[in-house]
Amino acid sequence: MTAAELELIATAHKDEASLTPEQSTKIKFLMSELKQVSAPVKNSIFSKLYRRNELRAMISYFNLPSLWFTLNPADNRNPLVAVLSGHTVDQAIALSIFERCKLIVDDPVAPCKYFYCCVNTFISILKGGIFGPLKAYYGIIETQGRGSLHIHMLIWLDEAPPNEIFANALLHDQVHRDNLCCYANSILSATITSAEKIPSICTSFPTTIENQQDIAQFDNIVSAIVQETNMHSASHNAACFKRNNKSCRFNFPRPCQERTTICLDSLDVVPTRNNPWINPYNKYIAYLFRCNHDIILITSGSDTKALIYYLTEYATKCELKTYELVSLMSAAYKDVEENSAVLMESDKTRKLLIRCLNKIGSVQEQPAQLVISDLLGYPTHYTDSTFASLNWLAIVKYIEDGDDDVTLLQQNPLYDRPVTKVLKTKFSVLTSA
Ligand SMILES: [Zn+2]
């Protein structure tokens, strides 16, 4: 393949023209080679493929997750950021919104530390059972337009029934529907009291609840926080009308209703609502983190798998368009073609792959907080599950070749004899069946 061929492919992609079969084969091969080389590199463009594969493995292993949760810590509002940046508590509370914004630009380490502090705190309350007994979780960290960090998380709850049974019960059993509504009411809400506005989201709030009066005060504070942090803007924003949507793609404003129900067509849980612009929230999370968050109960139904696909695609989205990627690879090929005439073919291939990845990396904007989190050694994702990669081709080769050819498998301790024996037995059972 040459730089000129790649440029032709990039142009075809941009114009949405179809590729020749030969072009398709070549570009697929090149992409797969690049993915192999770059996937293990932290924060590289293809490292997200690892995340996607792990999420899919969890869905295969645990069935579909129960909840989708997003936490969007407010680094431009929370005084803790200023404290982490060296201010005293009194100074931190006294800062204006402009000073807070300036602080996170001048010192991206403080908001980064604050974000990971929020995530670790959230995971501890998740494990403590804020949504019920926990089976597993998987969260991916992303940056938003202004460069601040947020986390999307899929949560599997213990004792949640397999989804086919769950869907069937929701469709045919009113008691089951009532129970699910009751559970939804216990973890999320879309109502607010007509609370007076709090002076500032940085205000010091009580930390204990001892009587009925405290509960009323707690509800009022939560409502005030939600009005500051968890309302969809009545004037919408650019993201609402992405991909030529004529109406808000987050379905705001949403109709008010007096009790939580289940839509029998989509099996979506529709919570009690007294304001069309509230994004459903959890009152304890609102009180504790004082920031925007989102909770979606994943029920079943014909579109659940599509939803999971969307969620994992969304959580692992790649910022560059295909034609932009191919065009960058073409430039890398051109460099190597012009400067590596005397190289051996194997060295040239290695150089080509590295040059392609460097070209792609050089045009990707990296938000300061993401770079800092990398330098400080913070993780790019959170999970309590462990994964092992299987070289499936080696296993298939072993099965096809019989017991004698085990060289490939013996190179990796994971593919020891007992494991491959079991696989071989299973494979035999499957093929004979
Ligand atoms: Zn909108």
DSSP per residue, 103-164: HHHH-THHHHHHHHHHHHHHHHHHHTTBTBSEEEEEEEEEE-TTS-EEEEEEEEETTPPPHH
Whether residue 93 is predicted with pLDDT greater than 60 in this model: the reply is yes
Which residues touch 303 (CB under 8 Å, ≥6 apart)? 266
Helix ranges restricted to H, 271-344:
283-289, 304-315, 322-339
Whether residue 277 is predicted with pLDDT greater than 80 in this model: the reply is yes
- Residues 138-179 have pLDDT tens digits of 998 888 877 889 999 999 999 787 777 777 888 888 998 999
Backbone angles phi, psi at 353, to 5 degrees: -65, -45
Least confident of 177-191, 274-288, 357-371: 357-371
| pLDDT > 70: percent of the chain | 84
Whether residue 128 is predicted with pLDDT greater than 50 in this model: the reply is yes
pLDDT computed for residue 411 by the predictor: 52
C-alpha of residue 238 to centroid of ligand 1, in Å = 8
Tokens 């590729």 locate to 19
Structure tokens given for 155: 């949560």
| pLDDT > 90: percent of the chain | 29
Least confident of 16-20, 58-62, 133-137, 351-355: 16-20
- Report which secondary-structure segment, H or E, holds 381: strand 381-383
C-alpha of residue 383 to centroid of ligand 1, in Å = 31
C-alpha of residue 242 to centroid of ligand 1, in Å = 10
18 versus 61: which is more confidently predicted? 61
- Cα–Cα distance measured from residue 76 to residue 82, given in angstroms and rounded to the nearest whole number: 10
3-state secondary structure of 61: helix
C-alpha of residue 316 to centroid of ligand 1, in Å = 22
C-alpha of residue 203 to centroid of ligand 1, in Å = 29
- Residues 296-324 have pLDDT tens digits of 888 864 455 665 666 566 545 556 677 77
pLDDT bin (cut points 50, 70, 90) of residue 405 is very low
C-alpha of residue 107 to centroid of ligand 1, in Å = 32
Q: Which of 203-212, 285-294, 416-425 has the highest mean pLDDT?
A: 285-294
C-alpha of residue 245 to centroid of ligand 1, in Å = 10
| Terminal alpha carbon distance of the chain | 44
pLDDT bin (cut points 50, 70, 90) of residue 419 is very low
Tokens 């939560």 locate to 222
Structure tokens given for 17: 């023209």
C-alpha of residue 266 to centroid of ligand 1, in Å = 21
Whether residue 428 is predicted with pLDDT greater than 70 in this model: the reply is no
221 versus 119: which is more confidently predicted? 119
Least confident of 118-132, 153-167, 246-260, 319-333: 319-333
pLDDT computed for residue 283 by the predictor: 94
Residue 383: strand pairing partners: 138
| Inter-helix orientation angle 392-401/417-432, to 10° | 70
**Which whole number is the average pLDDT over 49-55?**
80
Q: Distances from the Cα of 223 to the Cαs of 195, 197, 250, 281, 427, in angstroms?
A: 6, 9, 21, 10, 58
C-alpha of residue 72 to centroid of ligand 1, in Å = 17
pLDDT computed for residue 300 by the predictor: 65
C-alpha of residue 288 to centroid of ligand 1, in Å = 26
Structure tokens given for 358: 């460097």
Whether residue 418 is predicted with pLDDT greater than 50 in this model: the reply is no
Q: Distances from the Cα of 15 to the Cαs of 10, 29, 318, 355, 368, in angstroms?
A: 9, 22, 20, 26, 34
C-alpha of residue 401 to centroid of ligand 1, in Å = 58
Average model confidence (pLDDT) across the chain:
81
C-alpha of residue 130 to centroid of ligand 1, in Å = 29
C-alpha of residue 234 to centroid of ligand 1, in Å = 7
Residue 261: strand pairing partners: 270
Which residues touch 83 (CB under 8 Å, ≥6 apart)? 89, 92
pLDDT computed for residue 417 by the predictor: 43
- Residues 338-397 have pLDDT tens digits of 776 666 667 777 788 888 888 887 777 788 888 899 899 999 899 999 988 777 777 777
Backbone angles phi, psi at 264, to 5 degrees: -75, -20
- Cβ atoms 273, 190 nearer than 8 A: yes
Whether residue 409 is predicted with pLDDT greater than 60 in this model: the reply is no
**Which whole number is the average pLDDT over 173-188?**
92
- Cα–Cα distance measured from residue 427 to residue 432, given in angstroms and rounded to the nearest whole number: 8
**Which whole number is the average pLDDT over 226-250?**
85
182 versus 408: which is more confidently predicted? 182
C-alpha of residue 69 to centroid of ligand 1, in Å = 19
C-alpha of residue 231 to centroid of ligand 1, in Å = 10
- Cβ atoms 382, 119 nearer than 8 A: yes
C-alpha of residue 195 to centroid of ligand 1, in Å = 24
pLDDT computed for residue 1 by the predictor: 75
pLDDT computed for residue 301 by the predictor: 44
pLDDT computed for residue 4 by the predictor: 77
User: Quick one: 106 exposed, middle or buried, by C-beta within 10 A (0-12, 13-18, 19+)?
Assistant: exposed
C-alpha of residue 232 to centroid of ligand 1, in Å = 7
- Cα–Cα distance measured from residue 318 to residue 50, given in angstroms and rounded to the nearest whole number: 13
